[in-house]
Amino acid sequence: MTCILQLGPLTDRFNRALAAEHEVLRLWEADADAMLDQHGNGVDIVVTSARFGCTASLIDRLPNLRAIISFGVGYDAIDVAAARARQIAVSNTPDVLNECVADLAFGMLIDCARQMSRADRFVRAGEWPSGGLPLASRVSGKRLGIVGLGRIGEAVAKRASGFDMQVRYHNRRPVEGSVHGYERDLVELARWSDFLVLTCPGGESTRNLIDMAVLEALGPKGMLINVARGSVVDEPALVQALLDGRLGGAALDVYAHEPHVPDALMALPNVVLLPHIGSATEETRLAMEELLWANLRTFLERGEVLTAV
Ligand code: DGY
């Protein structure tokens, strides 16, 4: 019988179904060290997520591991190099969440520009009868810079066309697709943009890509929208730029050390803070689960995964 090590809980429905079909070791419910000492040799497959990842040191403790099956598109928390060195298959759940994450990114952009969350707080605090809000920024017709034009970035660009926005993007190299304005220089893209949306992968290649120079170029009227990974932004620089007014605003779904959100961000009125909910809709989570199952079953039947990273 296949032995699956599940690193953290996914949906209740998934947890139950997995346990009904397989021998499952639930690492988060156990003394992890003791469990790995006792059962590590017998583990065939790890089931994890973008959040729980899979480190090289864990892989080392599973000498018979054959596959890491992950829930989520991002795999920056999985040591793919360590897995490859041992020919361990790694899968994620791409594409099925593109539209959902793009919806959120665009919603965050509008929220940040039009101060919707701030206005909501204002009404709930009973401030409407006695005061006013500062005027917001318009969205339609503005300039949108996308950092990381992959499938999610393309979906954001599609939404922007409905708002008559001009769109340019920065990648390491230009890509074929519906967006033509390639900008090699990220600072230049930030200078040109009213809104800079991050949809690039996390990991070492993009760590602190958005530094003070980029934030200053985006400027006191510019807004940063991050649905990628917290590691892409130099978070202390972001906090400083917002405090100094060198950056106009930000909408963040991801942070450097989740679930920690810097206190300074909490105190700022021009920042929208979300708890990493890019893919968190019923429809999308179900589609991600189905793709995870398809990867797991295909691996068990044929020794390969459908969506390898
Ligand atoms: C992903 O799939 O990588 C998301 O960030 C998780 O919500």
Give pLDDT tens digits for 29-72. 999 999 999 999 999 999 999 999 999 999 999 999 999 999 99
Catalytic (active site) residue 180: no
Q: Which residues does 165 contact at the CB level (< 8 Å), separation at least 6? A: 139, 140, 141, 142, 143, 144
Instruction: Work out the pLDDT band at 170, boundaries 50, 70, 90.
Output: very high
Q: How far is the CA of 179 from the centre of ligand 1 (A)?
A: 24
Ligand 1 atom with minimal separation from the 227 CA = 5
Evaluate whether 49 touches 90 at the Cβ level (below 8 Å). Answer: no
Ligand 1 pocket (Cβ < 6 Å) reads 50, 72-74, 97, 276, 278-279
CB burial string 51-90: b at 16+ within 10 A, e below:
ebbbeeebbebbeebbbbbbbbbbbbbbbbebbeeeebbb
Residues across the chain: 309
**Peptide bond preceding 259 in cis form (omega within 30 of 0):** yes
Q: How many CB atoms lie within 10 A of CB 298?
A: 18
For ligand 1, atom 5, name the residue with the nearest CA.
74
Whole-number pLDDT of residue 251: 98
**Mean pLDDT of the 238-265 span:** 97
Mean of all residue pLDDT scores within the chain = 97
Q: How far is the CA of 130 from the centre of ligand 1 (A)?
A: 42
Catalytic (active site) residue 184: no
Whole-number pLDDT of residue 1: 81
Residue whose token pair is 């199952």? 293
Q: How far is the CA of 134 from the centre of ligand 1 (A)?
A: 34
Distance CA 83, CA 77 (A): 12
Evaluate whether 227 touches 200 at the Cβ level (below 8 Å). Answer: no
Catalytic (active site) residue 61: no
Q: Judge whether residue 129 has pLDDT over 90.
A: yes
Instruction: Work out the pLDDT band at 131, boundaries 50, 70, 90.
Output: confident
Beta bridge partners of 271: 250
Q: Judge whether residue 263 has pLDDT over 90.
A: yes
Whole-number pLDDT of residue 161: 97
Ligand 1 atom with minimal separation from the 73 CA = 2
Instruction: Work out the pLDDT band at 283, boundaries 50, 70, 90.
Output: very high
pLDDT, tens digit (0-9, with 9 covering 90-100), for 92-115: 999 999 999 999 999 999 999 999
Ligand 1 atom with minimal separation from the 229 CA = 5
Distance CA 46, CA 67 (A): 6
All domains of the chain in start order, with CATH: 3-94+282-302 (3.40.50.720), 98-273 (3.40.50.720)
Quote helix, strand, coil % in the chain, to nearest 5. 40, 20, 40
For ligand 1, atom 4, name the residue with the nearest CA.
72
Q: What are phi and psi of 255, to 5 degrees?
A: -140, 165
Q: Judge whether residue 243 has pLDDT over 90.
A: yes
**Mean pLDDT of the 15-22 span:** 93
Distance CA 251, CA 7 (A): 30
Q: Predicted ipTM?
A: 0.94
Whole-number pLDDT of residue 178: 86
Burial class (CB in 10 A: 0-12, 13-18, 19+), 120: exposed
Distance CA 49, CA 292 (A): 10
Q: How far is the CA of 50 from the centre of ligand 1 (A)?
A: 6
Ligand 1 atom with minimal separation from the 51 CA = 6
Q: How far is the CA of 71 from the centre of ligand 1 (A)?
A: 8
Catalytic residue, from 127, 258, 290, 304: name it.
258
**Mean pLDDT of the 244-272 span:** 97
Whole-number pLDDT of residue 163: 98
Least confident of 141-150, 177-186, 223-232, 290-299: 177-186
Whole-number pLDDT of residue 177: 85
Q: Judge whether residue 193 has pLDDT over 90.
A: yes
Q: Which of 107, 100, 76, 110 has its CA nearest to residue 90? A: 76
**Mean pLDDT of the 108-123 span:** 98
β-pairing, 223-226 with 195-198? parallel
Instruction: Work out the pLDDT band at 269, boundaries 50, 70, 90.
Output: very high
Instruction: Work out the pLDDT band at 221, boundaries 50, 70, 90.
Output: very high
Whole-number pLDDT of residue 253: 98
Catalytic residue, from 22, 229, 235, 289: name it.
229
Q: Where are the beta strands (DSSP E) in 2-87?
A: 3-6, 23-26, 45-49, 67-71
